[in-house]
Structure 1
Amino acid sequence: MLKQLIQSDVHGNVRHSAVQELARGWKKDPDTLPLLKQRVQSDDNGNVRRAAIQELAEGWKKDPDTLPLLKQLIQSDDDKFVRSAALQELARGWKDEPWLFELLYNCAINDPFQRQDNWEDNPRQIALERIIKLYPDHPKTLTLLRDRAENDTDDKVREFAQKKLKQFTQNH
């Protein structure tokens, strides 16, 4: 029943819940992982895709397709919410990987986010937050903070970076 709901229910919130329940309750079912991957890549609802991303990163971190898929979503997905979810999961699940700083740095500079509503999460800010948290002593962190405080096209990211820059310089 959950598999059917994931694939064909017209309501995104039903598919979202079905994705979560299937991933958590039927992890060993051979259809679960392919269904999650399918939802990540093709569902027309961003919330369903985000739920599938979160479940993949948590339950199938060691699957050889999970990491490349998350990286690909960050770099080229059209949905800013999907990029944000993939970014958050990478920073949470792969925080000790040596390549993560550069991926976050690239996102903090180059993500194409354009704010349409005040409540939206900007992937550039998420990347910047993770860099500050995970890499406060990295030689590029302070330079990046200064750059985003002056040059980010999003007012909220600039304000965030200015606030963090002030705190950062007081603490370091």
Structure 2
Amino acid sequence: MNIEKINFDIHKILTLLPHRYPFLMVDRVIDLVPHKSIKALKNVTVNEPFFTGHFPTRPVMPGVMILEALAQTAALLTFAEEPHDPETTLYYFVGIDGARFKRVVEPGDQLILNVTFERYMRGIWKFKAHAEVDGAVACEAELMCTVKNVDPAA
């Protein structure tokens, strides 16, 4: 059985996600297997705006930002499978279960974002996700998201 693997750069990501600086948390998709899994990366630099206050003497990426990076990666898996108009389609978190933080993420780290599709039921996508740095798990969680069409004029 031949499973097509897909990867894409920031230019493709910008066509799929509505996020922009300073909130875009995915730099590249390394590997995507439709309906199954995605692996992406976020290069963490000291220039990230959240490092100004978290923390000034020892910059640490906030856990919620790691979860946001995982959610954006899950959105890329979903949007790569379902045609959508990024101008009128938004991807919302509806739940996070079992979130655990196991390692700090600092400037200079490369965050590898792994998301696996679990199921889709009644408009809710469920994923298992984990982020790694140098092969060590930094964060893991189960994510639940939904896709909604919105009126851009509203």
Q: TM-score range by the shorter chain?
A: under 0.3
Name which one, 1 or 2, has greater alpha-carbon Rg. Answer: 1
Which structure features the higher share of strand residues? 2
Q: Tell me the TM-score normalized by structure 2.
A: 0.25
Which structure features the higher share of helix residues? 1
